[in-house]
């Protein structure tokens, strides 16, 4: 639907907004987490004050004070942090529509897995986000006092969801929906748990009561979950531009490994902030990244591994557009700089070719009239390679 020049600019504008509000959200999350980790008891004890932190930034000195539960009296202006979260979620869901639900068909639907019509894809995608939130929310309640078990079962559930998505959607569609689900959990934590519990505390204070600390503690736990989810979710968003992550058949397992690595790095920062110098997490994360990169490396294929019949099909159906000198009408340069002028150039991109040809995303609008048999032949070779 949105395949015009204007559609591309809409895509760009929404991406821009999404990245900016996402930076604002994650920035505040990092900052407040940093504050909590660096707050120390004040030099001169003050009633009700749990700790303080001094800092210097941009030519000014700052002293931040944290109260045990709440100050005795509310200030006239109290800043809340919620619009960053909501704007990130709304722009992210908009992007899901612009790129995946209304964009070029086939980018998320793989007819060999599940041949969903557009409305089916939307219902499946949005339904899975809602179901994922309900599952996570209940798991948090069930395992409130067992954070270790919650972390383990949360990860298991996350990997299971990524596996489920990868059985239904294209690799790219599976990755983006896993990322969208994590982002939804984070935004819903703000909307359904963190903000309401803060509101309850503020209302109690307005009535002159001492607020119950329990809702604040639940908000703090969800806030910490959000903090650990930031690194994996940002990774997923970037990985959508790197087919070596999402185009393999073990993509869901790779995602699980990368999520653990990201959360571990976040954990290292949190420990360090509290004064614990853990020596093995960072080196282990580096080793894990290298190991995952090696595991994800596609089997080496060279131009001589491309059978003649496959090469003939690609030259006929793909090279008209994907060439240094395209012959397809109205195509002036190779799309995305991808050329198939030699078998080696094709072999290099075998996993991504498997993904885009199987899903029907390529040839674009099937402008070169590729037949189903040709498609099957190219996919069979590209997946094997």
Residues that bind ligand HEC (CB under 6 A): 104, 314, 317-318, 320-322, 328, 331, 335-336, 338, 349, 352-353, 356-357, 362-364, 367-368, 370
Rounded to a whole number of angstroms, the minimum distance from the CB of residue 170 to ligand HEC is: 10
**Beta carbons of 174 and 251 less than 8 angstroms apart:** yes
Using the structure block, give the residue that is written with the tokens 């944290």: 66
Closest CA to 229 of 164, 278, 280, 180: 180
Rounded to a whole number of angstroms, the minimum distance from the CB of residue 120 to ligand HEC is: 22
Nearer to ligand HEC, 225 or 322 (CB): 322
Closest CA to 370 of 381, 359, 360: 360
Rounded to a whole number of angstroms, the minimum distance from the CB of residue 3 to ligand HEC is: 8
Nearer to ligand HEC, 85 or 108 (CB): 108
Give the whole-angstrom CA distance, residue 385 versus residue 370: 21
The first and second tokens of residue 279, run together, are 């020596």
Closest CA to 180 of 137, 105, 240, 120: 240
Rounded to a whole number of angstroms, the minimum distance from the CB of residue 340 to ligand HEC is: 7
Nearer to ligand HEC, 109 or 356 (CB): 356
Length of the chain: 385
Nearer to ligand HEC, 143 or 367 (CB): 367
Nearer to ligand HEC, 152 or 238 (CB): 238
Rounded to a whole number of angstroms, the minimum distance from the CB of residue 323 to ligand HEC is: 10
Which residues lie closer than 8 Å to 114 by C-beta, 6 or more apart? 167, 168, 169
Which residues lie closer than 8 Å to 195 by C-beta, 6 or more apart? 80, 82
The first and second tokens of residue 24, run together, are 């604002």
Closest CA to 23 of 72, 84, 75, 111: 84
Rounded to a whole number of angstroms, the minimum distance from the CB of residue 367 to ligand HEC is: 4
Nearer to ligand HEC, 231 or 310 (CB): 310
| Phi and psi based region of residue 299 (left: phi greater than 0; alpha: psi -120 to 50; beta: remaining) | beta
Give the whole-angstrom CA distance, residue 190 versus residue 316: 52
Nearer to ligand HEC, 181 or 352 (CB): 352
**Beta carbons of 205 and 226 less than 8 angstroms apart:** no
Give the whole-angstrom CA distance, residue 262 versus residue 257: 9
Using the structure block, give the residue that is written with the tokens 């969208």: 180
**Beta carbons of 178 and 158 less than 8 angstroms apart:** yes
Nearer to ligand HEC, 347 or 362 (CB): 362
Nearer to ligand HEC, 211 or 385 (CB): 385
Rounded to a whole number of angstroms, the minimum distance from the CB of residue 293 to ligand HEC is: 20
Nearer to ligand HEC, 26 or 382 (CB): 382
Residue nearest to ligand HEC (CB): 318
Rounded to a whole number of angstroms, the minimum distance from the CB of residue 353 to ligand HEC is: 4
Rounded to a whole number of angstroms, the minimum distance from the CB of residue 292 to ligand HEC is: 21
Give the whole-angstrom CA distance, residue 182 versus residue 26: 13
Rounded to a whole number of angstroms, the minimum distance from the CB of residue 90 to ligand HEC is: 23
Give the whole-angstrom CA distance, residue 25 versus residue 269: 18
Which residues lie closer than 8 Å to 80 by C-beta, 6 or more apart? 195, 198
């Amino acid at each position: 639907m949105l395949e015009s020049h204007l559609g591309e600019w809409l895509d760009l504008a929404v991406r821009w907004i999404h990245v900016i509000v996402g930076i604002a959200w994650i920035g505040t999350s990092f900052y407040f987490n940093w504050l909590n980790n660096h707050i120390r008891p004040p030099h001169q004890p003050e009633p009700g004050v749990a700790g303080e932190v001094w800092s210097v930034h941009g030519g000014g000195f700052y002293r931040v004070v944290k109260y045990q539960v709440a100050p005795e009296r509310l200030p006239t202006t109290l800043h809340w942090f919620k619009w960053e979260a909501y704007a990130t979620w709304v722009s992210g869901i908009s992007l899901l529509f612009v790129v995946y639900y209304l964009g070029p068909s086939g980018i998320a639907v793989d007819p060999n897995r599940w041949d969903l019509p557009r409305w089916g894809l939307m219902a499946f995608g949005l339904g899975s986000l809602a179901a994922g939130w309900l599952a996570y929310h209940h798991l948090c309640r069930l395992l409130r006092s067992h954070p270790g078990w919650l972390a383990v079962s949360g990860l298991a559930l996350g990997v299971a969801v990524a596996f489920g998505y990868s059985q239904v959607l294209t690799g790219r569609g599976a990755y983006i929906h896993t990322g969208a689900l994590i982002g939804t959990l984070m935004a819903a934590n703000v909307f359904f748990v963190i903000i309401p519990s803060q509101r309850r505390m503020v209302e109690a204070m307005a009535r002159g009561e001492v607020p119950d600390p329990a809702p604040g503690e639940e908000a703090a736990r969800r806030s910490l979950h959000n903090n650990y989810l930031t690194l994996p979710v940002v990774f997923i968003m970037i990985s959508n531009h790197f087919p070596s992550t999402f185009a393999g058949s073990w993509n869901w397992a790779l995602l699980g490994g990368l999520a653990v690595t990201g959360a571990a790095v976040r954990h290292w920062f949190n420990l360090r902030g509290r004064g614990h110098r853990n020596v093995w997490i960072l080196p282990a994360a580096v080793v894990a990244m290298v190991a995952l990169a090696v595991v994800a490396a596609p089997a080496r294929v060279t131009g001589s591994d491309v059978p003649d019949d496959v090469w003939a099909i690609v030259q006929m159906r793909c090279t008209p557009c994907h060439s240094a000198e395209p012959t397809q009408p109205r195509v002036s340069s190779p799309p995305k700089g991808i050329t198939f002028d030699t078998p080696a150039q094709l072999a290099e991109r075998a996993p991504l070719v498997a993904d885009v040809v199987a899903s029907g995303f390529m040839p674009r609008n099937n402008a070169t009239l590729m037949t189903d048999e040709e498609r099957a032949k190219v996919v069979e070779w590209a997946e094997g390679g």
